[in-house]
């Protein structure tokens, strides 16, 4: 564009020089010939009839050049005084998206979409839209999060599902339908344990790096059983508990065998047999004797010159127990009184696992989270909505299903799961905190995994994930607002909508003998919707945001269609 402008200017200057030369030539020759002024004016353009004629007389050349310089200076002045003008966008360019703009992101086959609103759908093929499928749905109680978002998407039956299900209503309404669609339907029921499938976290340790999975499990458990500790709380006890729990879990895992698989039940039973005394530092419990035996096994292996003859399975177990013993050594560095406090504190954290009904759920595994992306499956995580006693189990399960399915996808030829895995995380703030969720949400798209985070307001997520909450939001290309009046949320939505430029006409009138009247027109910036307007959004309306697009106001999904 700049090159074209330069060519146009150059041509203009050449024409100006040519015209100046001809005008000067005509006037000069007629003056010399003695013509009167009126005659000169009448014939001043005669030389233009000879376009190829150019006078080389000094006067004519100088005059043409002078006129060209004047025009060039005019161009230069206009260029230097030019301002960046954006008519009707001086204070902001926000506007509402048009239906056609939003519909371009939908698949023509309706069942191949995630549904957000009456006329808003997002193609499951993220490579076609260049948008990820992660979303955040925000809506106060009764705004239709389950009825107008979760339910309709379950009825799409187009992916595998993992659904957080407060009270079990979603399972009750949709399980039979999904079974008829060929789904394997399972549930982790933390309200009615007798109806639940079994879940054994230790069953999903990666055999190539079980120590890592052990530490992830421990970290998740400690984080979600710590409660809200005041700032400045000494973390010494927590670190000691981590070391002890790492030692117990890894010991159970590396000493398990086919007839006696590793479970959390064995871990809590070992913890129950631990003792320590502030009076007798040399006191040894049953578990202390077990780890003393571990120390002897490791020493025997290290001292055996023929260790290369040991089986690969035994060698692997010894290396794993080396990690277990190192964690145990960290724990026993404390005095007897310290050890006793650590045992008590960890025992309090694990108290729910002593419930007989929950022990049955954790005693084996039938939930098969490693099959979620391989076969069409719907897994309902049924949680109570009146307390969070078992929220740590849901958090652990989510952490493990992400780790396991990311690993499975990475070891498939195309790096993606055979079935898209859609995790609908209703009541996101009540399922515990996943310590590395902000990293996982950033990388799951390419493995055919997506999450739909559902909260009553954005402050809930901020309270749980602190500074990482912005990272989580930033990795969700879709945001659906169904209604709510929480202040920080309405202010955030208002800022997301942006400002538009409007015209304001002011009238002024002065009465009296010398009265006057005036009118002025000026531009102002105004939010598309102010926080109070967002808080009073009609019940049937919602706001949809998609990365790279203007916001869209439309009707919520009609569940009757």
Q: What is the CATH number of the domain that holds 439?
A: 3.40.50.300
Final residue belonging to a domain, choices 80, 114, 142: 80
Cβ proximity of 148 and 426 under 8 Å: no
Q: How far apart are CA 264 and CA 271, in angstroms?
A: 11
Strands in 298-420 per DSSP E: 377-383
| 284 assigned to some structural domain | yes
Cβ proximity of 331 and 247 under 8 Å: yes
| 373 assigned to some structural domain | no
Residues 163 and 214 in one domain: no
Residues 160 and 264 in one domain: no
Query: By C-alpha distance, which of 212, 202, 204 is closest to 320?
Result: 212
Residues 103 and 147 in one domain: yes
Cβ proximity of 262 and 202 under 8 Å: yes
Residues 269 and 307 in one domain: yes
Residues 318 and 347 in one domain: yes
Please spell the DSSP secondary structure of 88-102, one letter per residue. T-TT-B--PPPHHHH
Residues 28 and 59 in one domain: yes
Radius of gyration of the chain (CA): 38
Final residue belonging to a domain, choices 365, 389, 413: 365
Residues 252 and 207 in one domain: yes
The whole domain housing 524 covers: 98-197+378-508+516-561
- With 0-12 / 13-18 / 19 or more C-beta atoms within 10 angstroms meaning exposed / middle / buried, residue 361 is buried
| 156 assigned to some structural domain | yes
Which helix (DSSP H) or strand (DSSP E) does residue 552 occupy?
strand 552-555
Residues 555 and 487 in one domain: yes
Query: By C-alpha distance, which of 395, 412, 477 is closest to 447?
Result: 412
| 371 assigned to some structural domain | no
Q: How many domains does the chain have?
A: 3
Residues 70 and 104 in one domain: no
**Per-residue confidence of the chain (561 residues) as pLDDT tens digits?**
566 677 888 888 888 888 878 788 778 887 787 777 777 777 767 777 777 778 888 887 888 788 889 888 888 887 776 666 566 655 566 789 999 999 999 999 999 999 999 999 999 999 899 999 999 999 999 899 999 999 999 999 999 999 999 989 999 999 999 999 999 999 999 999 999 999 999 999 999 999 999 999 999 999 998 865 544 445 788 899 999 999 999 999 999 988 889 999 999 999 999 887 777 767 788 998 999 999 999 998 888 877 777 888 888 899 999 999 999 999 888 787 888 889 999 999 999 999 999 999 999 999 999 999 999 999 999 999 888 889 999 999 999 999 999 999 999 999 999 999 999 999 999 998 998 899 999 999 999 999 999 999 999 999 999 999 999 999 999 999 999 999 999 999 999 998 877 656 666 666 666 666 666 666 666 778 999 999 999 999 999 999 999 999 999 998 766
Residues 274 and 237 in one domain: yes
Residues 143 and 249 in one domain: no
| 88 assigned to some structural domain | no
| 93 assigned to some structural domain | no
| 334 assigned to some structural domain | yes
Final residue belonging to a domain, choices 80, 114, 143: 80
| 92 assigned to some structural domain | no
CA of residue 231 relative to chain centroid, distance:
28
Q: How far apart are CA 536 and CA 530, in angstroms?
A: 10
Q: How far apart are CA 205 and CA 218, in angstroms?
A: 12
Residues 206 and 320 in one domain: yes
411, two tokens: 């070891």
């Amino acid at each position: 564009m700049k090159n074209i402008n330069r060519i146009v200017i150059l041509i203009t200057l050449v024409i100006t020089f040519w015209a100046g030369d001809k005008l000067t030539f005509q006037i000069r020759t007629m003056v010399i010939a003695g013509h009167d002024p009126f005659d000169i004016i009448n014939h001043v353009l005669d030389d233009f009839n000879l376009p190829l004629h150019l006078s080389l007389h000094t006067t004519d050349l100088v005059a043409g050049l002078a006129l060209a310089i004047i025009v060039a200076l005019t161009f230069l002045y206009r260029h230097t005084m030019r301002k960046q003008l954006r008519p009707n966008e001086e204070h902001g360019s926000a506007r509402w998206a048009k239906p056609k703009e939003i519909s371009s992101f939908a698949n023509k086959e309706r069942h191949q979409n995630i549904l957000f609103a009456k006329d808003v759908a997002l193609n499951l093929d993220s490579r076609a839209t260049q948008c990820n499928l992660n979303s955040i749905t925000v809506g106060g109680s009764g705004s239709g999060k389950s009825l107008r978002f979760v339910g309709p998407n379950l009825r799409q039956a187009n992916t595998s599902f993992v659904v957080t299900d407060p009270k079990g209503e979603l399972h009750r309404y949709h399980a039979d339908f999904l079974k008829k669609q060929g789904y394997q339907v399972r549930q982790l029921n933390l309200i009615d344990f007798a109806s639940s499938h079994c879940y054994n976290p230790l069953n999903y340790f990666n055999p190539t790096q079980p120590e890592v999975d052990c530490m992830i499990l421990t970290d998740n458990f400690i984080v979600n059983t710590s409660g809200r500790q005041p700032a400045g709380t000494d973390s010494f006890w927590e670190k000691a508990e981590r070391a002890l729990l790492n030692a117990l879990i890894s010991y159970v895992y590396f000493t398990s065998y086919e007839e006696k698989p590793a479970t959390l039940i064995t871990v809590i039973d070992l913890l129950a047999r631990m003792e320590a005394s502030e009076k007798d530092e040399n006191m040894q419990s049953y578990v202390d004797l077990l780890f003393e035996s571990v120390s002897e096994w490791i020493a025997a292996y290290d001292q055996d010159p023929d260790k290369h003859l040991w089986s690969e399975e035994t060698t692997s177990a010894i290396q794993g127990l080396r990690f277990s013993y190192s964690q145990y050594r960290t724990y026993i560095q404390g005095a007897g009184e310290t050890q006793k406090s650590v045992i008590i504190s960890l025992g309090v954290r694990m108290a729910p696992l002593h419930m007989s009904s929950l022990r049955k759920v954790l005693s084996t595994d039938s939930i098969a989270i490693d099959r979620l992306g391989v076969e069409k499956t719907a897994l309902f995580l049924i949680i109570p909505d009146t307390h969070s006693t078992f929220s740590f189990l849901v958090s652990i399960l989510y952490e493990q299903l992400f780790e396991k399915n990311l690993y499975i996808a990475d070891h498939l030829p195309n790096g993606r799961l055979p079935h898209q895995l859609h995790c609908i995380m209703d009541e996101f703030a009540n399922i515990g905190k996943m310590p590395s969720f902000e990293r996982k949400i950033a990388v799951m798209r390419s493995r055919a995994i997506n999450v739909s985070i559902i909260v009553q307001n954005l402050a809930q997520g901020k309270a749980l994930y602190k500074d990482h909450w912005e990272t989580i939001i930033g990795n969700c290309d879709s945001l659906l607002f169904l209604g709510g009046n929480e202040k920080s949320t309405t202010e955030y939505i208002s800022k997301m909508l942006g400002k538009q430029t409007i015209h304001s006409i002011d009238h002024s009138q002065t009465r009296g003998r010398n009265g006057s009247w005036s009118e002025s027109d000026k531009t102002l910036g105004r939010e598309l919707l102010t926080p109070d307007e967002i808080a009073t959004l009609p019940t049937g309306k919602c706001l949809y945001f998609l990365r790279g697009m203007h916001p869209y106001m439309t009707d919520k999904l009609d569940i009757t269609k």
